[in-house]
Each structure stands twice: as structure tokens, then as C-alpha cells.
Amino acid sequence: MQRPTSRTSGSILALAYFAFISLGLPDALLGVAWPSMRDGLGLHQALLGAPVAVAAGSYFLSGMLAGRLIQGLGIGLLLAGSTALVAASVLGISAAPAFALILLASLLMGFGSGAIDAALNTYAARNFGPKHMSWLHAAYAAGATVGPAIMTAVLGRGGSWRVGYAVVGGLLATMVIAFIVSRRRWDTPPSDASVVLDAPGGIGPVPEEAPRVSGRTALRSGTVWLQLAIFFFYTGIEVCAGQWSYTLLTEERGFSGTAAGTWVAAFWGGLLVGRLVLGLVVERLGQVRMIRLATVGVVLSAALFAIPGLALGAVALPLLSFSLASIYPGLMAETPRRVGVHMAPHAVGFQVSAATLGIAVLPNIAGLVSEYAGLRAIAPVIACFALVLFVLHERLVATADRPA
């Protein structure tokens, strides 16, 4: 495969990395800003979940519509418009005088973010090799780390949470300009010789003469539904472990707050490190083999974490996230090959929606189980989810990747 040699190829690749960083920037702002926002607006503590739920709902809807939007607008225009919507929403939150307007802005931000997520993953799956796909998702993790850091720095200097949102909104506004300038490039091959960058895996744009496929047609595919189920369980496991591990370690296993917080930080760090490191070896190992090994690692590390009374079980947290790291970008990269380039925009959008649904459902299932069986039941529940993930992926490999 030929490496990109044109300035256009390099600029689009660089912009893709910045785009993934910008996608992560606003995602974790609310958690850091909430105490100041709550006190400043006189809100109840329980309202923290309201903006998250509103954004998740519109994110889900946006993912379901993404294929149609990509076909109608093109990736470049959709990225520019959606990023503008997110930037305006973040800036709107910074200036909102009432919580109702924050909810409205969260609704718009979720819709725009869902479209950006689907459009970027569609483009990356078509045009970038597995290495870049892994590193692009690492860039998202970096953005999700930088956003809270910006808010923390603002608050630490005595600034208002509104300033933190304004700074992030301003950064997103610069991405809008970049997307407007480059909007035509996103709907053409990144180089005149080959659209694949650095490695096999990218399969190129859909030919202009190719017939369009409807979202309804995509939903008739068994492969699409299998991938939706895998994305549902993947994100559910990731967020379930990330949300519940601190409470489990401190209230059930006797860890100090500092120690538990360190292991939770190690969990999220493992996700970032995994995507950076595994991006170096995925092309030699192969994408499908990498994900199969990853699902085995998820099962083993989740089982280790579930062993009651094992003090070293906390070590399983970064092992779990490291194993999870390659699954999301890897499955996105394989989507056009498995379902076809014509169906891929719809499938990618549906996968984004399924991932959002997994975030909303599986951690709550774990919470409900803990109400009846105690906190000790959460780790075994995560292990059961991991086993389901493994079985689903093996089924996908057996059906979608079998020789013709």
C-alpha cells in the first residue's frame, strides 16, 4: 500500500486527529463543573443526570439518522455543520441564565456530537488503516482528558465554570472554520493514488455511481445486528467498570479513597495507553485476530476483578481497559469490509447509537443487581457481560468472516 504523499492527504489526516480530540473535549466537562453550576444556579444534586440523559437521547437519535445525513449532505458539510452546532451549544451553556436552557443546549450538543462521531468513524473506516483508527480513538480519549483539565484549571484560578465552557466552545469554533475550509476534501479520496493510509483496512470511498442503500435495508442484515449487539456490550462494560469500580473498591473491598481513585484513573489511562500501543502492532497481528485476543483478555481480566477477597483484583482494572482499547476502533475499521461500503454509513451510525444505549442500560442493570445482591455482585455482572461480548464476537467472526 502506498503512503500518502500529497499535502492534502497529510492535512486531512492531521485534521482528523484534531477532530477526534475536539469530539472528546466537551464530553467530561459537566462532572467537573457541576458543583459550581449546581450552587450558582441553585439546583438539586439529582439534576446532574438530566443533561447527560438529554444529550445521550439526542446522540442516539443522531446516530440512527447519520447514514441518511451523510448521503444527503456529504461528510465534509455534515462535519462542519455538526461541529458548529456543538460549538454553539457549549458556548450557549456558558451563557445560559437558567437550567432549562442548559438542557436545551445539551440536547443540541448531543445531536451534533452523534453526527460528528458517525461521520468521522465512517470516513476513517473507509480511508485509514487500523493503526490510524486506533490512534484516532486514542485522540478522542486525550480530548476527554483535556476538557476536564481545562475546567479544573479555570476553577482552580478562581474562575467561573462558565469560563471553562467558553474556552472549550472557542476551541471548537476553530474546528468549525477548519471543517468549512476543507469540506470538499472529506468527500474525495485523500490522495490521487490510494485512499488507504499506511496499512490495509481502509477501503476507499463509495463510487459515485453506486446505488444508495437505505437504513431500513441495513437493518435487515444479520451482520449489522451482531455488530450493534457487540457495541452495546462493549460500551456498557467500559462505562460500568469505570463508574462502579470506585464505589466497589471503597465500600466493599476496603480500599482508601486515594487508592481507589488511583486504580480508577489507571483504568481510564489503560484505555488511552492501549490504543496508542496496540496501534503499533495491529497491522502485523491483523485486526480480526487483535479483537479476538482482546475479547479473551476482557473475559480474563473481568473474571480476575470478580474474585472476591483478592486484594490484587484492582490490578485487573487497567488490564480490562487495555483489553477493551482495541475493540471499538477495530470494529469500526472492519465495518465497511463486513457490511459493504454502501451500507457502512448507516451501520456506523447505528453502531454509535447502540454504543450510547449500552452506556445508558448496562451500568443501570449492574446498579439494580447491587440493590438486591449487594455491591459485591457488580464485578461478577461485569464478568458476565464480558462473556457475552466474547460469544457475540466469535459469532460475528464465524458468520461474517467465513470463506465464501
Residue-wise pLDDT tens digits, 195-246: 444 444 444 444 444 556 666 777 777 888 999 999 999 988 988 888 788 7
Q: How many secondary structure helices (H) and strands (E) does the chain include? A: 15, 0
Predicted confidence (pLDDT) per residue in 238-259, tens digit: 888 887 887 788 888 888 777 7
- Provide the pLDDT for residue 213: 63
Confidence of residue 322 (pLDDT cuts 50, 70, 90): very high
Cβ count within 10 A of residue 371: 9
Going from the N-terminus, what domains does the chain have, and what CATH number goes with each?
Answer: 7-205 (1.20.1250.20), 217-400 (1.20.1250.20)
Distance CA 386, CA 369 (A): 16
Predicted confidence (pLDDT) per residue in 150-208, tens digit: 888 888 889 999 999 999 999 999 989 988 988 888 876 555 333 444 444 444 444 44
| Spatial CB neighbours of 367, under 8 Å, sequence gap ≥ 6 | 244, 378
**What average pLDDT does the chain have?**
82
In the chain, the largest separation of any two C-alpha atoms, in whole Å, equals: 64
- Provide the pLDDT for residue 310: 63
Distance CA 289, CA 271 (A): 19
Helix (H, G, I), strand (E, B) or coil at 50: helix
Distance CA 377, CA 238 (A): 17
Q: Which of these, 289, 28, 279, 241, lies nearest to 138 by C-alpha position?
A: 279
